[in-house]
Chains A and B, each alone.
Chain A
Amino acid sequence: MTTLIATSRDYGALIKEDRVHSAIFTDEQIFQDEMERIFHRTWLFALHESEVPKHGDFKRLQLGRFPIIATRDGDGQIQLLINRCRHRGAQVCEAMRGNAKRFQCWYHGWTYDSKGDLVGVTGAEAYDQKFDPEQHGLTRVPRVDSYRGFVFASFDEQAMDLRQYLGATLKYFDIMVDASPTGELQVKPGVVNRTRYRGNWKQVGMDGYHPHYVHMSVFKIFSKRENTTGSAVGALHLEDPFADSSSSRTRGFEYGHACLDFRAQRRPHAEQSIEDLRASDDGRRYVEDMITAHGEEHAKELIAWHGDPHLGVFPNLQLIHDHVRVVVPISPGETEVLMYPVFLKGVGDSINEKRLRAHEAFYGPAAAGSPDDAEIFERTQRGLIADADPWVLLGRGLGREEQDEDGSVAACISDETTQRAQMQEWKRLMTRR
Chain B
Amino acid sequence: MAKQIVNAAPEAVTTGLVDTATQQRLERFLTYEAALMDEHQYDTWMALWEGNDIRYWVPCNDDDQDPSSGIAIIYDDRSQLEERIMRLKDKTAHAYRPQARLNRNIGGVVAVSREQDIVEVASNFVLGEIRVGVQNIWFGKCLYRLRDSGETFRLLSKKVMLLNNDEAMPNLTFLV
Contact = CB atoms under 8 A, between A and B. Distances in A.
B166 interface: yes
A357 interface: yes
B94 A214 contact: yes
Given A194-B168, A195-B169, A368-B87, A357 B94 contact: no
A366 B87 contact: no
B12 interface: no
Interface stretch (B31-39, B59-67, B108-116): B59-67
Contacts, number: 104
A221 B86 contact: yes
B149 interface: no
A326 to B, nearest CB: 12
B130 interface: no
B171 A356 contact: no
B113 to A, nearest CB: 28
B80 A371 contact: no
B107 interface: no
B90 interface: yes
A137 interface: no
B70 A375 contact: no
A374 interface: yes
B90 A217 contact: yes
A190 B87 contact: no
A364 B73 contact: yes
A356 B173 contact: no
Given A214-B94, A356-B70, A364-B73, A336 B168 contact: yes
Please report whether the interface of chain A is mostly helix, strand, loop or mixed according to DSSP.
helix
Interface in B128-176: 132, 134, 166-173
Please report whether the interface of chain B is mostly helix, strand, loop or mixed according to DSSP.
loop
Interface residues of B, number: 34
Interface string B57-95: 010111001011111111100001001001100101111
Contacts of A366: 58, 73-74, 171-173
Contact of B61 (A191, A221, A224, A379): A191
B172 A365 contact: yes
Interface in A355-414: 356-357, 359-361, 364-366, 368, 370-372, 374-376, 378-379
Interface residues on A, range: 35 or more
A371 B70 contact: no
Nearest to B170: A196
Contacts of B172: 365-366, 371
A210 to B, nearest CB: 11
A193 interface: yes
Contacts of A216: 92-93
Contacts of A221: 83, 86-87
A67 B58 CA distance: 30
Contact of B95 (A352, A364, A375): A375
B76 to A, nearest CB: 9
B173 to A, nearest CB: 5
A221 B58 CA distance: 22
11 contacts: A191-B70, A198-B134, A336-B168, A353-B67, A360-B71, A360-B75, A368-B87, A371-B96, A374-B95, A374-B170, A375-B94
Interface of A: 188, 190-198, 214, 216-218, 220-221, 224, 336, 341, 349, 352-353, 356-357, 359-361, 364-366, 368, 370-372, 374-376, 378-379
Interface of B: 58, 60-62, 65, 67-75, 80, 83, 86-87, 90, 92-96, 132, 134, 166-173
Given A191-B69, A221-B87, A364-B71, 9 more contacts: A188-B69, A194-B168, A195-B171, A218-B87, A360-B73, A360-B75, A366-B58, A371-B95, A375-B94
Q: Which 7 pairs of residues, A with B, have the shortest CB-CB distance?
A: A371-B95, A217-B93, A375-B95, A196-B168, A366-B172, A216-B92, A371-B171
